[in-house]
Amino acid sequence: MARKPIVSFLLSMAALTGAALAADGQWQALPDQAPAPADNPTTAAKVELGKMLYFDTRFSLTGTVSCFSCHNVMEGGDDHRPTSIGVHGQVGGRNAPTVWNAAFHSAQFWDGRAPTLEDQAKGPPANPIEMGMANLAATIGRIRAIPGYKPYFEAAFGKGEVMSMDNAAKAIAAYERTLITPNSAYDLYVKGDKTAMNEQQLRGMATFAKTGCATCHSGPAFSGPVNLAIGQGFLMKFPVFPGSAYDTQYKLSEDLGRYTVTQKDADKNLWRVQTLRNLIYTAPYFHNGSVKSLDEAIRVMAKTQLNKDLSTDEVKDIVVFLSALDGPFPQQTMPRLPPTPGDLLTEN
């Protein structure tokens, strides 16, 4: 058979697969705006304050660690370390997930322990390894001691005693809801531009579906359905098929995931399903950052989750399809922060 008919056949199969999954609601474009909860509508004033707090290292005990330290929004929204480094050079136990498109996840953190972005924002400051503050009261106390922050809190939340940790978390969450990357080639294709994806991307899309990847990686962010109850979390067992060479090589089963939070046997090795968007920016991969390349990560997932061995061509095609999920990043600029009063000293 000549090459041209083969190409036409493959494109037709990809289109049919895509059409079938679209009918099931599988192929969904990322919305142009992230959803916000009723008690924290997104406003420009909240976003401005949240961005300041996100970049401010004074949120940490030593004045050296901010949200930005582990979630670099000037690039992939992570830190490219296997596991992150916090105050006093302490090393955490898990890879920093990207903050890009986190607004579309059904729960936050690898183990899904925070139901919302607001709850997630309260976790790192009082974590002894990450930002090291004694508690959340001490955290917001540090911010209250900076007079220049008060006008920004009042602009965002009104006059009065509004410099609270709850409001600080709401502001950070509001900023994070602007960190989304719609209008990738895939998004444009799903929205009707059938020229947006090339031949190999379409072939990879069909291979992705045929292999079974979409069983977990569904929804607009490819991190699970978006219609779950708040905080329910879309968690899956990883590895589903333990004991493979990959499991041993990359120590995939050593961290017990959700179990470390609940202490329930049923939650052993349960993890929140991660987004597949902008993956080229977020190596290394998995909860322990043990896999450095995307093609290897695909082989590992196919074997440990689906008990399938993919060919080199299948892996290449899926990698190219995943590149179609890379959307344009909104422009980021560094915020100007209020000055530190001379009597505000950080601890060592």
Give per-residue pLDDT as tens, 212-228: 999 999 999 999 987 76
For the chain, give every domain's residue range: 3-32+181-323, 44-176
Percentage of the chain exceeding pLDDT 90 = 87
Q: How far apart are the C-alpha atoms of 71 and 77, rounded to whole Å?
A: 4
Per the annotation, the verdict on 48 as an active-site residue is no
**Which phi and psi angles does 318 have, rounded to 5°?**
-65, -40
Residue written as tokens 């960190």?
Answer: 179
C-beta separation of 326 from 277 below 8 A: yes
Burial class (CB in 10 A: 0-12, 13-18, 19+), 334: exposed
| Residues 308-332: tens digit of each pLDDT | 999 999 999 999 999 999 999 999 9
Read off the tokens for 332. Answer: 């980021």
CA distance 154 to 162: 7
Of 48, 75, 118, 130, catalytic: 130
Q: How confident is the model at residue 17 (pLDDT cuts 50, 70, 90)?
A: very low
Q: What is the CATH number of domain 44-176?
A: 1.10.760.10
**pLDDT single digits (tens) 25-82:** 579 999 999 999 999 999 999 999 999 999 999 999 999 999 999 999 999 999 999 9
pLDDT of residue 225: 82
pLDDT above 60 (res 9): no
- Note the CATH number of domain 3-32+181-323: 1.10.760.10
Tell me if domain 3-32+181-323 and domain 44-176 are identical in fold.
Answer: yes
Q: Is the pLDDT of residue 19 over 60?
A: no
